[in-house]
Structure 1
Amino acid sequence: MAKTAAAMHILVKEEAQALDILEQLKNGGDFEKLAKKHSTCPSGKKGGHLGEFKQGAMVPAFDKVVFSAPLIEPQGPLHTQFGYHIIKILYRN
């Protein structure tokens, strides 16, 4: 099982906005540009990059997606206490 992963995310307050962003991504939208434009997380300034982190370092629901979902497509929207996340998993080790 993976012990570390790297991911990007876009965090927004409303589910409808998260769904709209996910649709833009499915139609070829650039994840980093959308993160810089829409994300309310400080990582948005870095194109949504969260860097590498250990399993258990993020809130449980986010952690579960990063360490179990397919790497191919952006995941979400995932609701946590912070808002709605669109997650792009870069790799797992």
Structure 2
Amino acid sequence: MFKTAAAVHILVKHKEQAEDIIKQLNNGANFGALAKRYSSCPSAKKGGDLGEFKRGQMVPQFDKVAFSGELLVPHLVKTKFGWHVVKVLYRT
């Protein structure tokens, strides 16, 4: 079982916007550039980089993707904060 994960994310208010961001990423757009442009999270300044975190540090819906979602693929996650486009970089 993995103890830590590292991820980048983009936080937006609306599902449609998150889905559009995923389309842009799938067409080769730069994740960091989109995070700086669209994300309402303070991590936007760092291109959406959340760094490494332990299981249970994030809200449950986010945690689930961080520790079981496919790596390096944008995932759509709904939490109490809004819609996240999450890309899990690695797990340890």
TM-score range, shorter chain: over 0.9
Q: Which blocks of at least 5 consecutive residues in structure 1 are unaligned?
A: none
Q: Give 1:75 deviation, angstroms.
A: 0.9
Q: 1-side partners of 2:42 and 2:72: how far apart?
A: 25
Q: 1-side partners of 2:10 and 2:74: how far apart?
A: 10
Instruction: State the TM-score, normalizing by the size of structure 2.
Output: 0.98
Alignment-derived partner of residue 92 in structure 1: 91
1:25-71: per-residue Cα shift (whole Å, max 9, x none)?
A: 00001000000000000001110000000000000000000000110
Q: Give 1:73 deviation, angstroms.
A: 1.1
Q: 2-side partners of 1:38 and 1:47: how far apart?
A: 10
Q: Give 1:74 deviation, angstroms.
A: 1.1
Alignment-derived partner of residue 12 in structure 1: 12
Aligned residue identity for 2:19: L
Aligned residue identity for 1:18: A
Alignment-derived partner of residue 50 in structure 2: 50
Q: 2-side partners of 1:2 and 1:37: how far apart?
A: 32
Structure 1 runs of 4+ with >2 Å offset: none
Instruction: State the TM-score, normalizing by the size of structure 1.
Output: 0.97
Aligned pair count reads: 92
Alignment-derived partner of residue 72 in structure 2: 72
Alignment-derived partner of residue 82 in structure 1: 81
Q: Give 1:72 deviation, angstroms.
A: 3.4
Q: 2-side partners of 1:71 and 1:62: how far apart?
A: 14
Q: 2-side partners of 1:72 and 1:8: how far apart?
A: 10
Q: Which blocks of at least 5 consecutive residues in structure 2 are unaligned?
A: none
Alignment-derived partner of residue 24 in structure 1: 24
Give the % identical residues. Answer: 61
